[in-house]
Structure 1
Amino acid sequence: MSVDPQQLLRELFATAIDAAHPQQVLEAHLPSDRSGRVIVIGAGKAAAAMAQVVERCWQGEVSGLVVTRYGHGAPCEKIEVVEAAHPVPDAAGLAVAKRVLELVSNLTEDDRVIFLLSGGGSALLALPAEGITLADKQSINKALLKSGATIGEMNCVRKHLSAIKGGRLGKACWPATVYTYAISDVPGDLATVIASGPTVADPSTSAEALAILKRYAIEVPVSVRNWLQSPESETVKPGDPSLARSHFQLIARPQQSLEAAAVKCRQAGFSPLILGDLEGESREVAKVHAGIARQIILHGQPLAAPCVILSGGETTVTVRGNGRGGRNAEFLLSLTDSLKGLPGVYALAGDTDGIDGSEDNAGAIMTPDSYARAAALGLSASDELDNNNGYGYFEALDALIVTEPTRTNVNDFRAILILESTKNDA
C-alpha cells in the first residue's frame, strides 16, 4: 500500500477538526427567523469563530460580547470579542463575565439571546460566587487540574463556586428567549457539563462538590467551605420556571469528528475501529490502546490490518513530575513506552483546539523508530513518563504537531495506524 503514514495521520487530524468547525456546523442550527434584534453572548475556544458565523447569517440587528482564550480570537464587526486565560481564570475573564451578566439582565420576553458555547467556557467565564475571590477559584482550579479529577468532577465544583454557571446565566436572561448552541468537548456530551452549563438546569449538588474536593484532598479556604455548605450555593435545578424559555442545541460533538476521520480512513484503504470517547489516566488509556494494537498485529483481532484505531474524549494527567506536556503528549509517551518500537505502528494524539494542555503544540506523532531514536539521544521513555515530560521527549524527536489555535474544540483526537498483521496464532 502506497501511503505516507505520517501524512495520513495529519490528514485524519485535520479532518476531525474541520468536521467540528463553526463555519461547517453552526449556520444550519440558527433560528429560521433571523430578522429582528438579537443579543449574542458566548464563551469558549470556539466563541469568536461562532460569532463570525452569526454575524454573517443574521439579517436583523446584531450586538453582543463573547470571550475566548488568548490567541483564539477572530475579527468580528458587531460582536465584541474579548480574550482571557484558560485553563486557570484571570482578571480579564472575571471582568468579561460581569459584563456578560449585565448585558442580559433586565431583558423582556420580546428579546432574543444567542449563547455560543464551547469547551474552555468554564474557565473563561469566571465570576466567583459572593464571598469567594478570584484567587480562591484560581488555586482550586489549579489543584483540580493536577489531581486527576474528571472534567465532570471539575465542572461540578466550578458550578457551585460560580455566580454565572449551573443555569444561573440562563436564569439571568429570563424572560427573554435563549438559544444555546454548543460544541461539546466532554465525554457523553452532557449539556450540564459542557463549560459547566451556564444556561441549563443542573442536577448536581453542593454536597457533591464538597465530596469531590475531599476525594482529591484539595484544601479550600473557610469562606469556600462555608459557601458550599450554604443553601444559596445550589445551582438552578430541573423544573425551574426561569429556564422555561431557554433552549439548548448541540451542534458538534466528538463522535462526528471520529466518524469523519473514519470515512477518510476508508478512502485511504484502511479499516477504521472507533473506540469512542474515553476517560481515565492518559498513561493507562495508552496501555489499553497498545494492547489492542498488539492484538491486531499478532492475531488480526478485532480487525485485520491495514487499519486505524480512532478514539476521542478527555483523559486526565495526575502530575507527579516537573516536565512539560499535556494529556496527548502523556498518552503518546506512554504508548511509545508500551510498544517499544513495534514495527508497522504509527500514532498521533492531539487536542482539536490546537493546544495540548497549556503548551504551544496540539500534540505529537509516534513512529516505529521513535523509541530507538530517543534512546540514542539518551532519553528513556519510562523516565520521561515518570517526569510527565511528553513535550520534551517528542520535541527532541522533532515530532511535535503545531497547528496554532483552531477555533473549535471537540477535545482529544487519537489515531493509531497499523500497516500489517502477522496473524501468528501459535
Structure 2
Amino acid sequence: MSRIREDADKIIAEALRAALPDTAVAKALEGREFGAGRLVMVAVGKAAWQMASTACAILGDRIDDGVVITKYGHSKGELPHTRIFEAGHPVPDANSFAATAEAIKLVEGLTAEDTVLFLLSGGGSALFEKPLIPAEELEDITKQLLACGANIVEMNTLRKRLSAVKGGRFAQLCAPAKVFSVVLSDIIGDPLDMIASGPAYPDGSTCGQAQAIVKRYGLKLSENAQKLLSQETPKSLDNVETQITGSVRQLCAAAEKVCSALGYEPIVLTAELCCTARDAGSFLGAIARTHKDSEKSLAYIAGGETVVHLTGKGLGGRNQEIALAAAPLLDGLKDAAVFSVGSDGTDGPTDAAGGYCDGETMSVLREKGIDVTAVLAGNDAYHALKECGGLIITGPTGTNVNDLTVLLIRR
C-alpha cells in the first residue's frame, strides 16, 4: 500500500472516531434532571444505537422504556430497557412502519409530568415513518426524488407533508409530555426542521415551497398526495426543548487536525459542499494539477453533501463518483490522491463508505479496458473502483454527519 493511501486511511479513521456522538450526548445529558415522572427514550437514525447506548450508560434504570430504530446492520447489541428495530433506508419499508408504530405506542398516554428523550440522527426520514399515503406511492416518490438529484432539504420538504410523524407531528403525539430532543446534524447549516424531516421541531418550510419542488422536477403525485402538500405542518411547539450536537464542521476540524499531525498543511475549503459529485471531483482534481509542483505537503478538505443525477443503471454513490471524477485530472501526478467518504459508512446503495483515486488509478483502469467517462455516465463507479482497489469500506460507523472529501498532495 502506498504511503499516501495509508495517510488517507488514517485520516478517515481518526476523523470518524472524533465524530462519534458519545461525548456530545454525554454533554447534553450532563446534570439534567427529568423529574419524578416517567422517562421514555426514542432513538431514531443511523446513529441511533450509538446515541442510545451512551444515554443508557449515563441514565441506567432511570429510563423506564425505550425504542431504537436504525438502519439494517447498524445495531451493535441489546440495550437495557430498550427494544431495538432495524429498518429500510433510503426507502422506508414494512419494518420502518412497524417500528414507528411501536414508538408511537410508547408515547401514548403520557402525562405532563413525563418526558420523552428523543435522540435523532440522519436517516430518520426513511426509518421513522407513518405515511399518510399508500406505502407504494411513498416509495415511488422517494425514488423519483433520488433519481432527479433533489437535495436533502427538498426531499424532506415533501416527505414531512406526507407523514404523520414528520414536520413536528411526533412532538404533538407526545403531548402533554415534555420532549427533550438531542439532534446529531447531517444537513449543511444544521436546519433542525429538516434533519430527519424534523419530527419534533416546528416546520419552517411552506406548502408553496413543497409545490414548487414538485413543479421543478416534474414529479408525478396522486391527487391525494397533492392535497397533503397543501396542508400546513405545525409552526410552533410548546412541549419541546432541542439541543443540536455534532456536525460536518466537527468532522472537517478533526480531519484538519489529523492532516496536520501527518505533516500536511491543511486547508479547509468548505463545510458546505453542495454541488454535483462529478463537479466536486473535477474541481479537486484541478486543484491537484495546479499545485502539482508544490514543495510542501498539502491537504484540501471539504465537508458537505453532493448530489448525483442518475443517468445510468450502475452501482455507486456520491462519494465514489467524487473520487472517480477526480481520477482523469490526477492521472500521472506523483503522490496526489482524492478520497471521499460518507461518515455513516454507507455511500449510496452499496457496502462502501466511499472511494479513493490517485495518480495511478487511470493507468490501472486503462489496463483493464475501463472507460471512466462511460462509467460515470452509467453511474457505475462502484465496479470501476473495485477493479482498481479504490473502494473505501468501513462498515457502519455509529455516526452520521455528512461527507468528508480530501485532496492530498504529499511531498
Interval of TM-score (by shorter of Structure 1 and Structure 2) = over 0.9
**Which residues in structure 2 correspond to 1:55-94 (within 5 Å)?**
55-59=56-60, 60-75=62-77, 76-94=79-97
Q: Which secondary structure state, in structure 2, belongs to the residue aligned with residue 378 of structure 1?
A: coil
Pairing 1:2-401 to 2, within 5 Å after superposition: 4-34=3-33, 37-59=38-60, 60-75=62-77, 76-129=79-132, 132-229=133-230, 233-237=231-235, 240=236, 243-275=237-269, 276-297=271-292, 305-401=296-392
Which 4+ stretches in 1 moved above 4 angstroms?
none
2:175 and 2:239 in contact (8 A); partners too: yes
Q: How far apart, in 2, do the equivalents of 1:114 and 1:103 lie?
A: 12
Shift of 1:155: 0.6
* Distance in 1 separating the partners of 2:141 and 2:332: 40
Determine the C-alpha separation between the residues in 1 that align with 2:330 and 2:259: 22
Q: Distance in 2 between matches of 1:260 and 1:211?
A: 38
**Bigger mean CA deviation after superposition, 86-95 or 172-181:** 172-181
Q: How many residues were matched structurally?
A: 405
- Given that 1:39 and 1:112 are in contact with CA atoms closer than 8 Å, whether structure 2 keeps it comes out as yes
TM-score (norm 2): 0.95
Distance 1:31 1:40 in 2: 16
Contact 2:298–2:408 (8 Å) recurs in 1:
yes
The 2-side partners of 1:313 and 1:190 are apart by 14
| Deviation for aligned residue 1:34 | 4.9
Q: TM-score, normalised by structure 1?
A: 0.92
Tell me the secondary structure at the aligned position of residue 292 of structure 2: helix
The Cα shift of 1:341 comes to 3.3
SS in structure 2 of the partner of residue 58 of structure 1:
helix
Query: In structure 1, the residue corresponding to 2:291 is in which secondary structure?
Result: helix
Shift of 1:369: 0.3
SS class of match (1:26): helix
> Percent of counterpart pairs with the same letter?
36
User: Within 1, Cα distance between the matches of 2:42 and 2:248?
Assistant: 23
Aligned AA for 1:62?
Answer: D
1:200 CA drift (Å): 0.6
Give the partner amino acid of 2:181.
T
By how many angstroms is 1:74 displaced?
2.4
Structure 1: 5+ residue runs without aligned partners? 421-426
C-alpha displacement of 1:274: 0.8
Coordinate RMSD, CA, aligned: 1.6
Equivalent residue letter for 1:218: L
Q: How far apart in 2 are the matches of 1:339 and 1:148?
A: 26
Q: Deviations for 1:56-76, whole angstroms, at most 9, x for unmatched residues?
A: 100524311120000001221
Larger mean Cα displacement after TM superposition, 17-26 or 86-95: 17-26
Q: Distance in 2 between matches of 1:366 and 1:24?
A: 33
What is the rounded CA distance, in whole Å, between the counterparts of 1:134 and 1:289 in structure 2?
40
- Equivalent pair of 1:20/1:252 in contact (CA under 8 Å): yes
3-state DSSP of counterpart to 2:179: strand
